Amino acid sequence: MNVIALPIFVPLLLILILLVVKQTRWAQWISILGSTVLLFISIILFSGLKDTGIQTLNMGNWNAPFGISLVLDYFSALMLVVSSLIMFALSVYSVYFMGEEQKVNKFYLFFFSLTMGINGAFLTGDAFNLYVWFEVILISSFVLITLGKSKEQLEGGVKYLALNLIGSLFFLAGLGLLYGKTGTLNMAHLAEILRESEQPVYINSSAALFFMAFGIKAAVFPLFFWLPASYHTPNITVTSIFAGLLTKVGVYAIIRFFTLFFVQDQAFWLNLFLVIAGLTMVVGGMAASTHYDTRRILSYHIISQIGYMIMGLGIYTPLAIAGAIFFTLHNMIAKTNVFLVSGLINRVKGTFYLKDVGGLYKQNPLLAILFIIPAFALAGVPPISGFFAKFILIKAGIEDGHFFISAVAIGTAMLTLYSMIKIWNEAFLKKAPEDKESKYESKGLVFGEVFPSIVLGAASILMGLFAATIFAFTMEAASQLLEPGLYIESVLKGINP
Amino acid sequence: MEIVLAILVGVLYTAGVYMVLRRSILKFIIGLIFMSNATNLLVFISSGVVAGEPAFVGSEPVDANALSDPLPQALVLTAIVIGFGIVVFTLALKYKFYEATGTDDLDQLKKTDN
Amino acid sequence: MQIVLLIYLIASFLIFVIPERIKKAVPFFLASVQLGVFIYFFSKIGLVSGGATIIEKIAWVPQLGLEFELVLSGLSLAFVLLITGIGVLVFLYSYAYMKSYSRTDIFYFYLFLFSGAMLGLVLSGNLILFFVFWELTSFLSFLLISFFHEKEASRKAAFQSLFITGLGGLILLAGIILIGSVVDSYSVSVWVENAVMIKSHKFYLPGLVLIFIGVFTKSAQFPFHFWLPGAMQAPTPVSSYLHSATMVKAGIFLLALLNPVLGGRPEWTYILTLVGVITMFLGAYFAITQTDIKAILAYTTISALGILVMLLGIDTVLSTKAAMLFLYVHAFYKAAMFMIAGFIYKKTGTLEWSKMGGLAGIVPITFTIALLALLSMAGLPPMLGFLGKELIYEAKVQLPDVASFILVFGVAGNALMIAVSMFFLFKVFLGKKGKSFEVSYKKDWAYVFGSGVLALLSLFFGLFPSFLGKNIIEPALNSIRKIDYSVKLKIWHGFNDVFFLSVVTVLLGFSLFLLIYRKNRLLEKWRNFNLNFFTIRLVDVFDNTMNSFLKLAKRKTEIVQHGYHRYYILTIFVVASVLLWYQVYVTQGWSLLNVFTLKPFYISGLVVVIVFSTFFSVISSSRIATIITMGVTGYGIALIFLYYSAVDLAITQIIVETLILVMFVLVLQQFPLFAKLSSKASKLRDVLIAITFGSAMTVLALKSINIDFNNRISNYLIENSYVKAYGENVVNVILVDFRALDTMGEVTVLIVAALGVFVLLKSKKV
């Protein structure tokens, strides 16, 4: 068997192992080990791309487009590496932060089913298979979000579930229509058919359904409601996983579909993307600025940042797509990290509510540094990763004449800055409010708790310092997306059914 | 006859959407089931169905166009099973939620916003 | 030069590893590093004044036009010497000033990192690199202003400065990208080569305005100046270093750097002179009524920055020369004055001049230094400030176009400056004794050393200006104007227009001083007048805008994220319906060919049954009836599957439907009856939306049936099912072989769902 399938089968194996493991200790070690292995696999897969460009695997040896193909191109490989890195960090983090829950063994099961779904979604080259992985992600996230069973969690869970289920139905309906019109499900084959077709606009209605499905998943305006209603309710580990990965799978799917085969009637779609991107950025950013709970601020903030990714797609030049990918990678890392740090703040101070905390700068300088790295990354301070992400997008926008959306992006960057400074001022600089201080005994942090943040923080910084390398990869990914000839060729290998 | 089935799909969607817009969570779930049935039917008919033979083949070659398209059937089958799993979980969640809060009214679920 | 920046970076981090017992030596260590760098660059004067530029370049992100390109030209050298030279003195001063505070590590860390960033800024030969350093200085300034972070005022001022300069920074970036797109490069040298093209491009004016906004925010020009007085919340060494001598000059540096590219057009001249003159006058005007000595210095800094902007705006050789000279003049006296103000603050515990007085008797040396610095600030001989002012007048007189306007405000501004300087001198150092304190110069030498050096330099260069003119001003000027021009500075120009203007200025200034010094009430009235007249304070405007924006955001958020779950769903379906109907509308042209092909016809009877049971399920108010009719619908669909030869599907549907029904019935025991929760109107609305969406789906289904790109892969599956996969039931073969991965995912979903239900229902009640 080809190694491309490993990111799907290793988690499966881990799930099976974890089904029989009873001790929490063991489960923790297995999951750390497992996620380390996954990280290595994804790095190896990624470095293997240098020679081949795109790797494919036909499952069960059924030639594409008849069976299911897995496809690894630069875009999916980059997403895979970053998500594996995040999963690795979270597997360590969860040891300390899932401790209080009784279901800790089960948590790892769902953790890896989620991993499996995400990896599958990145790897698959088949539209229906993507649906299946979406469902795996969905059910795993349902379970994770309700794991603690507090009232709030159940309520958040109901909302999360309701809106996402509707999203799935749109996805499935879109698939049905797409298959009805084209008779195929393989994405490369779809690309070939639809790019050559003479009446391609007929596909637009299916495209609309897919857009709804992925839009709900990616939490764009006006489909994002489930996110702020639910993300702040579960255990911080779970929120961090969701924040870093879930919406980005939606973004991944939008970018994949709308560069590979929904390329008809671009005047309509790209303008729609730009409008949505602008609204998403502004609404998310504005909403974030009004809150005082770190998790809520950061949740709205996720939405705002999704806008940037969609903006890149809407501009649709190689630079812009590369920018969108760069932004996505940067955002996955920094956003997860900032949630992890908010968990640390909660650990030290006992609350997420900014008005009740303070004085952390003095009390715990290490925590201040850990916060300031992802916060500065998100705010776009050079030379950390976020600066390049925004720079590339704004450059792409201005050079392609999209001045308005570029101005919106700049304005939103200020909103981001405002939110980050608010957290910084309130949690770190301000004196701790005295009446609250006495109630909760402040705790110190052990190394294992901060280790994941250190890893992700270092990743953000390195991504900035070695932006040339990362950018070259994203540029490669973008050119593969915009000129899918190679993609189609590698998958179909000249077979024309 | 396609038009009749297509209209049925529309009716099921209409019923589903109306139900998911109710305040009761139970109705919401029923609405989801309607919509999910509608979607399955949509996938099933969208490539054109044939009232012919079921897709059973033997060793001798067959005329593929005379058989119903087996692929949408497989897809719908997968979707039905997945949908089942999710509906079961949703029901359990609903059960737990009612146990915890004593309400079936979605409009009471306002705590986690704002 | 890259090594130099690296040294700054490493030295900053070394601060944290220096052992506790020699912690005291940190400022000396840092000052000596600065001194070393100063000497290094000082030794390059010969080379640079000979017309050479030193360029070092390594790639950073070359694909994006970002090179790590450092350029040492006459212009950058002039700034470098200022940054490192004053840096040495500031770190020595900090030794004395910061002694009494805890956590000085972090202070020195930020401050030293700032020196490095500032150095990088003025050495950048690539504008994106320049921007990187520009942002770094903004953020370090933020961190330094909020050093006393437990004070609300500090945090607020720090935020304000960051927000203004940060916004300006991003706008500047947009300007750089815009103009960069004209020549496809961010290298300053490329811009200079293509200056003609840039100036005639349609992006010239928008790019210019964007860059100017960046400059105006950083260099505290009207109407963005208000953050600078707030920044005085920082410890005084920071005020003296960042907010007078170096960081606020970054904008000036950028103007000088881009003068060959963007200058020489009326847009450049008019915008800059206008903004510069307004800033200059307002700064001086507001300085005089301040009660806090640091605030006085802050406003005079704003005024000085206005002068610099105006001079660069006049855009002649003479005005540029005046700007470069005044840069030095101002840095010398202002840094010195801040150091003195900090010293006084430390000794008296106050910054209000009304509580001071007669300090000359207590601190004679400081008095002498302050006298020199204030003379220079007032532009009186024999100080360097005098030369600067004369040159400025000369430059203004030279410009016929807007000269009278500039001259009037210039004279007024300078007169105010004289009055402020005199007032400062008399109120703080002479006159009635205010607070008294002990001082020992032996112990407090570090407070005085820096300001002393700077004041003496002001005097020295005032008397012997040729060294400064030849080695620093001249190379800088030549690298800005791209010409050879020899700078000769002299103190006496003879009786001419300029001399006449000087005399008028001095007379005006002295009269004004006497007026406000004699009559304290007058100043008070003046202050009150200002408070009443200038009711719109920009700081408040900023705060109010911010607050009303937040209120607006809150309102909007409450509208969007209102918490009513079904409206979220409603929104989704409305959006979906609009999108789908729009698509149906634009993609006409397909025809309904296969509408009645399907047999048998009696299926319609079944469909009618399903429709009725669905309808009943929806309208029924009985729970059990709703669920059972829902079941009927499900079974009906199973029958449809069966009719159309999907046996496996029908079986699965029946099983699943049955299981769901059973579960519903089990769970149902727990639930309340359906309450009548919705009003008629909302029901009607929901029906309409549901029908809109449902009918769209019908149309889409028909469309999909009738459009076929004719590429069914299932033909292959049918043909090969038995031959290659050895299965007769094609559907099953697809599930377990062709698309086994789907089935694996499906099983995973089931397992996870089962475990999830188990975890959810097991154990404790909530």
Q: Which of A99-113, A152-166, C570-584 has the lowest mean pLDDT?
A: A99-113
Angle between helices C403-424 and C293-314 (to 10 degrees): 160
Give the domain range for residue B35: 2-50+65-108
Q: How do residues B79-108 score in pLDDT, each as one tens digit?
A: 999 999 999 998 888 888 888 777 777 777
| pTM beyond cutoff 0.90 | yes
DSSP-assigned letters across all residues of C275-323: HHHHHHHHHHHHHTT-SBHHHHHHHHHHHHHHHHHHHHHH-SHHHHHHH
Chain A residues inside the 8 Å CB shell of C754: none
pLDDT tens per residue across span C691-712: 999 999 998 888 887 777 666 7
Report the 10 Å Cβ neighbour count for C30: 27
Give the mutation candidate from B112, B113, B114 for the A interface (greatest A CB count, under 10 A). Answer: B112
Q: How far is A344 from chain B (nearest CA, A)?
A: 22
Q: Which of A110, A126, A158 to mutate to test the interface with B (most CBs of B within 10 A)?
A: A158
Residue A135: its chain B contacts at CB < 8 A? 82, 86
**Separation between Cα atoms, residue C53 and residue C56, nearest integer Å:** 10
Q: Is the pLDDT assigned to residue C441 strictly greater than 50?
A: yes
Q: How many angstroms separate the CA atoms of C111 and C136, rounded?
A: 12
pLDDT, residue C673, reads 65
Query: Is pLDDT above 50 for A1?
Result: no
Residue B65 CB partners (closer than 8 Å, separation 6+) = C715
Q: Is C665 left (phi over 0), alpha (psi -120 to 50) or beta?
A: alpha
Residue with tokens 């060729």: A489
Distance from CA of B23 to the nearest CA of C (A): 7
Contact C742 A129 (CB under 8 A): yes
- pLDDT score of B52: 62
Please name the residues in contact with C24: beta carbons below 8 A apart, sequence gap of 6 or more: C95
pLDDT band, very low/low/confident/very high, at C279 (cuts 50, 70, 90)? very high
Q: Which residues of A touch C170 (CB under 8 A)?
A: 410, 413-414
Q: How many A-C residue pairs are in contact by the CB < 8 A criterion?
A: 281
Is B21 within 8 Å of chain A by CB? no
Is C346:C438 a contact under the CB 8 Å cutoff?
A: no
Q: Are C462 and C386 in contact (CB under 8 A)?
A: yes
Q: How far apart are the first and last CA of chain B?
A: 50
Q: Do the beta carbons of residue A71 and residue A125 sit within 8 Å?
A: yes
**b/e map C637-653, b = 16+ CB within 10 Å:** bbbbbbbbbbbbbbebb
Nearest CA in chain B to A173: B39
CB proximity C591 to B under 8 Å:
no
**How far apart are alpha carbons C17 and A326 in whole angstroms?**
35
State whether residue B35 sits within 8 Å of chain A by CB.
yes
**Per-residue pLDDT tens digits for C392-417:** 888 777 766 666 778 888 888 889 98
Per the CB < 8 A criterion, the answer to whether C233 and C158 are in contact is yes
Nearest chain A residue to B70, by CA = A183
Sign of the CA dihedral B13, B17, B19, B24? positive
User: Where is pLDDT greater, at C363 or A324?
Assistant: A324
What is the tens place of the pLDDT at every residue in A347-364? 888 888 888 888 888 888
Tokens of residue C265, six digits: 């057009």
Cβ-based contacts of B85 with chain A (< 8 Å): 139
Strand pairing class (C54-61; C66-72): antiparallel
- Subunit contact B33:C597, Cβ cutoff 8 A: no
Write the pLDDT tens digit of every residue in C161-204: 999 999 999 999 999 999 999 999 999 999 999 999 999 999 99
Q: For residue C670, what pLDDT is reported?
A: 67
What proportion of chain C, given as a percentage, has pLDDT over 90? 30
Chains in contact with A via at least 3 Cβ–Cβ pairs below 8 Å = B, C
Contacts of C131 in chain A (CB under 8 A): 382
List beta partners, residue A266.
none
pLDDT one-digit tens code per residue, A242-261:
988 999 999 999 999 999 98
pLDDT at A166: 92
Vertex C594, ends C588 and C596: CA angle to 5°?
Answer: 125
| Tokens, residue A46 | 């990624």
Determine which helix (DSSP H) or strand (DSSP E) holds A55, and give its type and residue range: strand A55-58
**Residue B13 C-alpha, separation from nearest chain A C-alpha, in angstroms:** 11
Contact A431 C150 (CB under 8 A): yes
- Express each pLDDT in A421-466 by its tens digit: 888 888 888 887 776 555 566 667 788 889 999 999 999 999 999 9
Q: How far apart are CA A191 and CA A202, in angstroms?
A: 14
Q: What is the pLDDT of residues C659-688, one digit of tens each?
A: 999 888 887 776 666 666 677 888 889 899
Please name every residue paired with A70 in a beta bridge, in sequence order, or none if there are none: A57, A124
Model confidence at C726, pLDDT cuts 50, 70, 90, reads confident
Q: Is residue B113 part of a domain?
A: no
Lowest-pLDDT range, A163-177, A220-234, C60-74?
Answer: A220-234
Chain A residues with CB under 8 Å of B48 CB are 180
How far, in Å, CA of C615 to CA of B8, rounded?
12
- Across the range C241-266, mean pLDDT stands at 91
Judge whether C720 and B21 are in contact, CB under 8 Å. no
Hey, are the CB atoms on C614 and B7 less than 8 Å from each other? no
Residue C766 has pLDDT above 50, yes or no: no
Among B43, A131, B13, B88, residue whose Cα is nearest residue C646: B43
Query: Among all residues of chain A, which has the CA nearest to that of C744?
Result: A132
pLDDT in tens, A265-290: 888 899 999 999 999 999 888 888 88
Please name the amino acid found at residue C650.
A
Yes or no, beta carbons of B56 and C564 under 8 Å apart: no
Q: Are C89 and C450 in contact (CB under 8 A)?
A: yes
Q: Which residue of C has its CA nearest to B70?
A: C731
Close Cβ partners of C464 (under 8 Å, ≥ 6 residues apart): none
Q: Taking CA atoms, what residue in C is nearest to A358? A: C150
CA distance A223 to chain B (A): 15
What is the predicted pLDDT for the residue at B51? 62
- A-contacting residues in C 106-165 (Cβ below 8 Å): 106, 128, 131-132, 135-136, 139, 146, 149-150, 155, 159, 162-163
A168 CB neighbours in chain B (<8 A) are 86
Question: In this predicted structure, which of A479-493, C52-66, C396-410 has the lowest mean pLDDT?
Answer: C396-410
C-contacting chains (≥3 CB pairs under 8 Å)? A, B
> Quick one: what percent of chain C has pLDDT higher than 70?
93
Lookup: tokens for C691: 């029908």
Q: Is residue B69 scored above 60 in pLDDT?
A: yes
Q: Using CB atoms, which residue from B30, B38, B114 is nearest to C563?
A: B114
Interface test with A, best of C58, C149, C172, C758 (most A CBs within 10 A): C149
Predicted confidence at residue A394, as pLDDT, reads 93
Which residues are registered as beta bridge partners of C187?
Answer: C126
The pLDDT-based confidence of B114 (bands split at 50, 70, 90) is: low
Q: Is residue B90 part of a domain?
A: yes
Cross-chain Cβ contact C738/A67 below 8 Å = yes
Could you say which residues from 43 to 62 on chain B have a Cβ atom under 8 Å away from some Cβ of chain A?
A: 43-48
CB pair distance less than 8 Å for A216 and C572: yes
Q: Distance, in angstroms, between A228 CA and closest chain B CA?
A: 7
Mean pLDDT along residues A376-388: 89
Best A10, A122, A132, A170 residue to mutate vs chain C (most C CBs within 10 Å): A132
pLDDT at residue A393 in the model: 94
Q: Between A and B, how many CB-CB pairs are < 8 A?
A: 98
Cβ separation C704–B52 shorter than 8 A: no
Instruction: Give the span between the Cα atoms of C180 and C261, in whole angstroms.
Output: 12
Q: What is the pLDDT of residues C598-624, one digit of tens each?
A: 556 677 888 888 899 999 888 888 888
Average pLDDT taken over every residue of chain B: 82
Q: Which of B49, B84, B105 sits opposite C644 (nearest CB)?
A: B49
Structure tokens at C606: 């079944």
pLDDT in tens, A49-82: 888 888 888 887 888 788 889 999 999 999 999 9
CA distance B32 to chain C (A): 11
Quick one: pLDDT at residue A134?
A: 95
**CB-CB contact of C558 with B114 (8 Å):** yes
Q: Which residues pair with C292 in a beta bridge?
A: C352
Looking at residue C765, its pLDDT comes to: 45
Say how far apart CA C426 and CA C256 lie, in whole Å. Answer: 37
Q: pLDDT digit string (tens) for C230-246?
A: 888 889 999 999 888 88
Specify the residue for token string 């999963």: A87
CATH number assigned to the domain comprising residue B92: 1.10.287.3510
Put simply, whether A62 touches C (Cβ < 8 Å) is: yes
Does the beta carbon of C702 lie under 8 angstroms from any beta carbon of chain A? Answer: no
Overall average pLDDT of the C363-367 stretch: 86
Structural domain includes residue B58: no
Alpha carbon A25 to its chain centroid, in Å, reads: 29
pLDDT at residue number A206: 86
> What is the structure's pLDDT at A435?
66
Chain B touched by C681 (CB under 8 Å): no
Phi, psi of A249 (to 5 degrees): -65, -40
At A103 the pLDDT is 57
As given in the structure block, the two tokens for residue C604 are: 């319609």
Task: Give the 3-state DSSP-derived string for C667-719, with helices as H, strands as E and coil as C.
Answer: HHCCCCCCCCCCCHHHHHHHHHHHHHHHHHHHHHHHHHHHCCCCCCCHHHHHH
The encoded tokens of residue C668 equal 């149902």
Among the listed residues C64, C47, C63, C65, the one whose alpha carbon sits nearest the alpha carbon of residue C55? C47
Domain count, chain B: 1
Cα–Cα dist C750/B78, whole Å: 11
Q: What is the pLDDT of residue A497?
A: 54
What pLDDT was estimated at residue B65? 65
Instruction: Report chain A's mean pLDDT, rounded to a whole number.
Output: 88
